[in-house]
């Protein structure tokens, strides 16, 4: 077999292999590729907090005000510049826009 023919045979395999790999990788990491942050959520929608990312100081502050994974909330106001307003645990809470992009949510349809 010559180099040229090897390449002709190998490339479709390579393509399928890459496609397959990509597919499985995406499936495995689907939740991370498709996750939505509080900053991107629409007004008047309900949701639950799925994940929070940040340093221990941020986590401590956000947790002590009541936004923990599993908490149900309603997004009251999001104009993409002022702090986001949510209603959670009987309280209206303001979270600055930048840090609200570190709070990932599951929106209720």
> Which range in 3-11, 15-23, 25-33, 61-69 contacts another protein by CB under 8 A?
61-69
- C-beta of 62: minimal distance to another protein in Å? 6
Comparing CA positions, the residue from 104, 100, 72, 101 lying closest to residue 88 is: 72
41 near another protein (CB under 8 A): no
* Residue 34 or 55 having the CB closest to another protein: 55
CB of 86 within 8 A of CB of 92? yes
52 near another protein (CB under 8 A): yes
CA distance 47 to 85: 13
Q: Which helix (H) or strand (E) holds 22?
A: helix 3-28
- Which positions from 77 to 106 touch another protein by CB under 8 A, shown as an x/- string? x-x-xxx-x-x-xxxxxxxxxxx-------
């Amino acid at each position: 077999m010559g180099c040229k023919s090897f390449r002709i045979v190998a490339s479709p395999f390579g393509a399928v292999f890459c496609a397959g790999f990509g597919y499985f990788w995406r499936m495995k990491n689907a939740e991370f590729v498709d996750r939505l942050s509080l900053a991107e959520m629409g007004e008047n929608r309900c949701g639950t907090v799925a994940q929070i990312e940040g340093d221990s100081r941020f986590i401590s502050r956000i947790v002590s005000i009541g936004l923990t994974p599993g908490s149900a909330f309603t997004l009251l106001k999001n104009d993409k510049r002022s702090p986001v307003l949510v209603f959670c645990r009987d309280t209206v809470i303001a979270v600055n826009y930048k840090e609200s992009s570190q709070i990932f949510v599951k929106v209720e349809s």
